[in-house]
Amino acid sequence: MTGAVVLRGTVITMDPTRRVIDDGAVVIDGSTITSVGPRRDVVEANPGLEIRGSATDLVTPGYINGHQHLTGDRLIQSSIPDNLPPGEAIFSWVVPVHDKHTEANDELSATLSLAEALGNGITTTFEAGTIANPDRVVQAARRLGARLTVGTWGWDIDEGPFVGPVDEVLHRQRLLIQSNSGPLVTPWVCLVGHELMSDELVVGAADLARSHGVGLTFHLSPTEADPQSYLARTGKRPLVHLADLSVLGPNVAVAHAVHIDQSEIEALIQNEAAVVSCPWAYLRLGQGVSNQFRHLQFWENGGRLALGCDSENAGDMVDGIRIAALFAGLAKDVPADPIGFGAYDALELLTIRGAEALGIGDRVGSIEVGKEADIVVHDRNGVEWIPISPDPVLQLVWGADGRSVRDVYVAGSQVVADGSVLGVDLASLASEAAAASADLRRRAGIS
């Protein structure tokens, strides 16, 4: 077992029994978890291995971010005003910025976003598909060692960057599927969604994804605008319409689906389609999630649900723990029910249930023998952890965030060590990012 290591600490496994092991240990051998249990047993069964960490460490599965824009917003992060009317942030800011992105901008943007993600313990990122140069984003992910699904622009409206007729859009998606798979990178078919995809395009995209055995994602119903326009055009609610077109299936992840009704919840569940909830985006953009928190009902009915951070101007910080805490808070507060949903449930969405929802639960999402070693180590010496609670899940979700992440492993390779993201010199990227941001703002005509 040369090269195998033992990580020690309190282990939150997220295995089927949701075992939490005080004074536990995990063995990583190559890319795989080969042992997990009480430290004494693990060390005895695996003599002579390097032991890393201490009893105060908290070891968790890598976090899953189900919806993240890696390009566009990053180089103008936290810059779009938070007092714009609905839609203006997208069409006056995000689209022009994407339009002016160079290949180098795409790689730099993805590097920064993924570095923040890894530093906060997010080992798997599902990109939202708004990328002009996916090859450069894949390059960034490979350099950092992040697990990633990647797509490219897909919409067939009349005017806008990267628009095209259905055949052309699907051809671009097909090329990406054929050229970009690897051990950590998986291509997905991605559409912008909303009313920015024709029925012909979304049906073609669903066929393409199914025939290649990959996922399909698109945005839908973060506000009431999509239900209103689908009802006017088709006479049906959006997800009922898409179910009738045979678009929904177990390989489909719908981003948002905030403004949905019971018939749409049923359409999603019957077709085993997943929803990715990005609650910070809805709050930042004032989209009304706290008036009707349908994601909770979807979850209560057994829906496949994951959490997402979205973009750096819609939620901004790329930190899964922060999302989990907000989701748990909404799930308690909206129905005024402190009992139905809590920190354990939220951590499940960020780990195993998120992984299951997005089709990778057989490989990651929990610390179990035979799974790939995507593991996060929190250092509990920071002040937010003093004193350490006897319930590590409560303290992780309600009392902490990504700041205490010290070490991160993806498929057994260490990608964050002592709080530093390996594979990139962030200090030297800061001046490059400042210059790229200024140049991009000038070319896109925004302040």
Amino acid letter, residue 22: D
Nearer to Zn ion, 28 or 196 (CB): 196
Contact 128, 136 (CB under 8 A): no
- Supply the minimum distance, in Å, between the C-beta of residue 285 and Zn ion: 11
Q: Pick from 392, 422, 427: which is nearest to 406 by CA?
A: 422
In this complex, which beta carbon is closest to Zn ion, that of residue 180 or of residue 217? 217
Q: Tell me the C-alpha to C-alpha distance, in Å, between residue 308 and each of 14, 158, 170.
A: 19, 29, 26
8/294 with CB nearer Zn ion: 294
For Zn ion, the closer of residues 128 and 364 by Cβ is: 128
Type of residue at 270: Q
Shorter beta-carbon distance to Zn ion: residue 72 or 423: 72
Tokens standing for residue 56: 């105060």
Nearest distance from C-beta of residue 424 to Zn ion, angstroms: 24
Instruction: Give, to the nearest 10 degrees, the angle between helix 343-350 and helix 320-333.
Output: 140
What is d(CA 240, CA 262) in angstroms, rounded to the nearest whole number?
Answer: 10
- What minimum distance in Å lies between the beta carbon of 192 and Zn ion? 9
Residue with smaller CB distance to Zn ion, 128 or 240: 128
Structure tokens at 297: 């009902």
49: left (phi over 0), alpha (psi -120 to 50) or beta: beta
Q: CA 386 → CA 12, 54, 223, 241, 379, distances in Å?
A: 19, 16, 41, 52, 11
Contact 26, 52 (CB under 8 A): no
Distances (CA, A) of 70 to 55, 241, 316: 36, 30, 12
In terms of Cα–Cα distance, which of 34, 54, 32 is closest to 42?
Answer: 34
The residue among 128 and 346 lying less far from Zn ion, judged by its C-beta, is 128
Nearer to Zn ion, 129 or 365 (CB): 129
Please identify, using beta-carbon distances, which residue of 128 and 141 lies nearer to Zn ion: 128
Q: How far apart are CA 92 and CA 339, in angstroms?
A: 42
Minimum distance between the CB of residue 311 and Zn ion, rounded to whole angstroms?
6
Q: Which residue has the tokens 């999630």?
A: 289
Residue nearest to Zn ion (CB): 128
| Nearer Cβ to Zn ion (116/379) | 116
Pairing of strands 50-52, 32-38: unpaired
Count Cα neighbours of 364 within 13 Å in the Cβ-side half-sphere: 32
CA distance 343 to 325: 7
Question: Which chain residues interact with Zn ion by CB under 5 A?
Answer: 128
Measured on CA atoms in the order 96, 97, 102, 107, is the torsion positive or negative? Answer: negative
Distance CA 225, CA 230 (A): 9
